[in-house]
Structure 1
Amino acid sequence: MKKKSYLAAAFVLLFMLVLSACGSAAQNGTNTASTETGTEASASTGSTNKDAAAEQSGTVTYESETGPVEIPANPTRIVALSSAPNVLSLGVPLVGVDQWTGANPLFTDMLKDVAVVSEEEPESIAAQTPDLIIAGSTTKNLDQLNKIAPTVVYTWGKLDYLEQQVEIGKLLGKEEEARQWVDDFSKRAADIGDKVKAKYGDDVTVSVIEVDGKSAYVMGDSWARGTEILYQAMDLKMPEPVSKAVSADGYYALSLEVLPEYMGDFIAVSRRLDMDSEMMNSEVWKQIPAVKEGHVIEFETRAASYSDPTTLENLLGIFEKGFLGESK
């Protein structure tokens, strides 16, 4: 009898211990299980188990052009081998950038403590312990970069300059901010374009060229150097010879002898401002009507090779002053 009582007591004790353990586990798991509980609660608002799991792990799924990529919900150590200026324009800090962005005078202050890394040397990227890498479709060693950190790839020109900024906003959780800038910039640029046409006529033309030593290249409507602003946002016209010349590749190399044939009523010149230009010192250049009329707008090549908000805002101010003699 005593033996039966002992066994019964032992069974009750064991049962109570199991209940206690379950209760303790439930209490200790409150924080980690809150996302799962939240998933059930959020079902009525259309959330999914996948979303809840992402929230729990601190990651989100970004639908990139190469497929879904799981990235940190709030990346804090970004290496940008592509689109770095777009990231900086959203006020998001970087830990590593490509050499071209590193040499851009518009971003000098923003990049004081940021490492210049190289796609040729993945170890230079790994040394920054990134939690997100942004690269271009032609970036070398993409397989190795994917092993270092989640890597999102963009193909240059697949999106236009405004869509690209919105897409970077989506990647970094700043889509609304990016869209607001797009709307505001587009309106301001269009207003300036209207003023230019009101002053010089609806058919006023502008050529965009880049001068490098003895060479010159005329640009199409989406080749940075302010082309997106002038031809798209401001809706100004390019001369017909330029339109035909750039139709194949987006740009066209010019010799000094034929240069005048491709120059419009205005010439926007991208060049190294700290260097003399042999071409612009030539008699051929000096005899071009736009040059004789003072319709030449010069700007620094190193600060014009991107189409991000910081670059575009800088160039819009230069163009406003160059065309209208005023700048906000």
Structure 2
Amino acid sequence: MKLLFKKAMIPFTLLLVLILSACTSNEGQSTESTNETSETITYQSENGPVEVPSDPQRVIVLSSFAGNVMALDVNLVGVDAWSKMNPRWEEDLKDVEEVSDENIEKIIELNPDLIIGLSSIQNVDKLSEIAPTVTFTYGKYDYLEQHIEIGKLLNKEEEATAWVEEFKKQTAEVGQQIKEKIGEEATVSVIENFDKQLYVFGDNWGRGTEILYQAMGLNMPEKVKEMALEPGYYALSTEVLPEFAGDYMIISKNPDTDNSFQETETYKNIPAVQNNRVFEVNAKEFYFNDPLTLEFQLEFFENAFLQ
């Protein structure tokens, strides 16, 4: 970076003229995220203000937010492995590289103009030297506020906000229809088998939980509320699964994982199983809570509960 800077140096007098000219031409211009006349905008990140491109063309997402970026029609050049493995995004991401926070050289080669990730990613200092890097702490914003924040970052707050408002209306309508069909007191649980371990989820850990519990206001079983609501998820054994099973069950199922728990007598004797109230989804399609995934989840729930 220093070498490039030295090569780009110009005589001081000319530099001064350029600075004065720039100040004059930019006088009165706003630095708010809605300013589209500037080449950069200032995004107020949780770690302080960050200068980012007003119209990013080569974005890398290192965790969670690929669907948010795609929903706002912004070009991606690199995404995390979880996004890359989503079968629904195979076509959209076929020319997008899989990267991680450890692939510094590969990220340099991709020449990004913006990098986005969770606050848990590594090498933020190195990444920030490559391109403006903005991270988010998971759960600091709810799933809809998060999309609006991504919209602000990408200079598309208006589009993001419009989507959120429309989605709220849709989920409210479908949620009311579902309640009328299954009853106000019916419970729903979301179960996933990952790496030979069963998990049950609270109301903010993807897998459709935000829609079911937050948007639609459906009930989670008391045991789920007790153990999984605050931390977001809870690991359990097959033997205690009936205690966490709702009147309806969403099974987030990874086709690459051993799902033999469904062959046990314990599982087969759960009332939701016996009453044909279990809806299976492909975990790889259901992990996230971005707009593209949320729309897919909403359509699935509408068809599953109301068919």
Normalising by structure 2, we get a TM-score of 0.88
1:59 aligns with 2:32: no
- In structure 2, distance between residues paired with 1:236 and 1:248: 17
1:313 corresponds, among 278, 282, 295, to: 295
Deviation of 1:57 after TM superposition, in Å, equals: 6.3
Q: Which has the higher helix share?
A: 1
Residue matched to 1:36: 24
Secondary structure of the residue that 2:261 maps to in structure 1?
coil
Q: Which runs of 4+ in 1 moved over 4 A?
A: 32-35, 54-57
Deviation of 1:215 after TM superposition, in Å, equals: 2.6
Secondary structure of the residue that 1:95 maps to in structure 2?
strand
Secondary structure of the residue that 1:290 maps to in structure 2?
helix
Structure 2 unaligned residues grouped into runs of 5+: 1-13
1:102 corresponds, among 76, 84, 94, to: 84
Secondary structure of the residue that 2:181 maps to in structure 1?
helix
- In structure 2, distance between residues paired with 1:308 and 1:274: 23
Number of residue-to-residue matches in the alignment: 288
1:80 aligns with 2:61: yes
- In structure 2, distance between residues paired with 1:174 and 1:184: 16
1:221 aligns with 2:230: no
Secondary structure of the residue that 1:111 maps to in structure 2?
coil
Normalising by structure 1, we get a TM-score of 0.82
Residue matched to 1:262: 244
- In structure 2, distance between residues paired with 1:117 and 1:297: 33
- Tell me: CA distance 1:59–1:212, structure 2 relative to 1, closer, same or farther (3 Å): closer
Could you tell me whether the CA contact under 8 Å between 2:203 and 2:229 is conserved in 1?
A: no
Most deviating of 150-159 and 276-285 = 276-285
- Tell me: CA distance 1:152–1:212, structure 2 relative to 1, closer, same or farther (3 Å): closer
Identity rate of aligned residues, in percent?
49
Structure 1 unaligned residues grouped into runs of 5+: 1-24
Structure with larger RCO (C-alpha < 8 A, sep 6+): 2
Secondary structure of the residue that 1:127 maps to in structure 2?
helix
1:140 aligns with 2:128: no
- In structure 1, distance between residues paired with 2:213 and 2:221: 11
Secondary structure of the residue that 2:262 maps to in structure 1?
coil
Q: Which has the larger radius of gyration?
A: 1
Residue matched to 1:114: 96
- Tell me: CA distance 1:35–1:268, structure 2 relative to 1, closer, same or farther (3 Å): same
- Tell me: CA distance 1:102–1:264, structure 2 relative to 1, closer, same or farther (3 Å): same
Matched to 1:146, the amino acid is: S
